[in-house]
Amino acid sequence: MDTDPPAALDPRIVRTHRDVVRATADLLLDGGWDAVTHAEVARRSGYSKATVYAHWPTRFDLVRASIERICDEADHPAATGDLRADLRASLLDFAHDLSAGRLDRLLAGVLEHADHGPAVADLRLRLYETGTRALRAVLTAHLRPADVDPVLVLLTGAVLVHVSYAGGTATPAFVDDLVDRVVPPGT
């Protein structure tokens, strides 16, 4: 299902889509995939279950629309041209999104439902590309093309494991140490 209706639609339909997808995204981030039900989305958005079902017939339709919205609204720190400062800002932003932004819950849901076909795989890829876009741009501007993906995986993987699995805090000191260990000196 589309995350946004065509612009030529009735403004009430546009508002309904916006409200329902926003409510679903909040619910998804707060409670994970299992919390997303048509009844709860209807309650939170202020629309009837019939309206929600009419536009999003399945739970996955609601989840997909909300993940698309989350990705569309994602913002990242602006690059300054200084490799280490830009990596530091982007990694601290990523760590914040994992903890305070509840991104870890969103990622866990996508991974949990990964065996549900290519549509979930597309969402997983969309989340990865959205979440790493700024870091990839910074690395692409400073590293050889062959080094971009491995360094990207090392940096994001280390933050993900440290924050989401080990329950640590990605402090500036942690991020600085990580960047020093992964990015070659003088780069």
Q: Tell me: the pLDDT tens digits for 110-155?
A: 888 888 788 888 988 888 898 899 999 999 999 999 999 999 999 9
Q: Mark which of 70, 87, 121 sits at the end of a domain.
A: 70
**% of residues, the chain, pLDDT over 90:** 57
Identity of the residue numbered 73: E
Beta carbons of 21 and 47 less than 8 angstroms apart: no
- Residue 6: is its pLDDT beyond 90? no
Other CB atoms within 10 Å distance of the CB of residue 62: 28
pLDDT of residue 66: 93
User: What does pTM read for this prediction?
Assistant: 0.80
Q: Hey, is 49 helix, strand or coil? A: helix
Give the residue among 117, 120, 124, 134 at the shortest CA–CA distance from 103.
124
> C-alpha distances in angstroms, 100 versus 12, 43, 148?
33, 25, 27
Flag whether 2 is in a domain: no
Residues 35 and 95 in one domain: no
Residues 20 and 90 in one domain: no
Flag whether 150 is in a domain: yes
Residues 177 and 91 in one domain: yes
Q: How many helical (H) and strand (E) elements, i.e. helices and strands, does the chain have?
A: 9, 0
Residues 29 and 119 in one domain: no
CATH number, domain of 66, equals 1.10.10.60
Q: Mark which of 25, 41, 70 sits at the end of a domain.
A: 70
- Residue 31: is its pLDDT beyond 80? yes
Query: What is the number of structural domains in the chain?
Result: 2
Rounded to an integer, what distance in angstroms lies between the CA atom of residue 185 and that of residue 65? 42
Residues 29 and 55 in one domain: yes
Say which DSSP state 163 is in. I
Confidence grade of residue 7 (pLDDT, cut at 50, 70, 90):
low
Q: Which domain holds residue 173?
A: 76-182
Residues 92 and 156 in one domain: yes
Rounded to an integer, what distance in angstroms lies between the CA atom of residue 85 and that of residue 97? 18
Rounded to an integer, what distance in angstroms lies between the CA atom of residue 32 and that of residue 60? 12
Token pair 């991020």 is found at: 175
Residues 58 and 107 in one domain: no
Beta carbons of 32 and 108 less than 8 angstroms apart: yes
Q: Mark which of 47, 70, 93 sits at the end of a domain.
A: 70
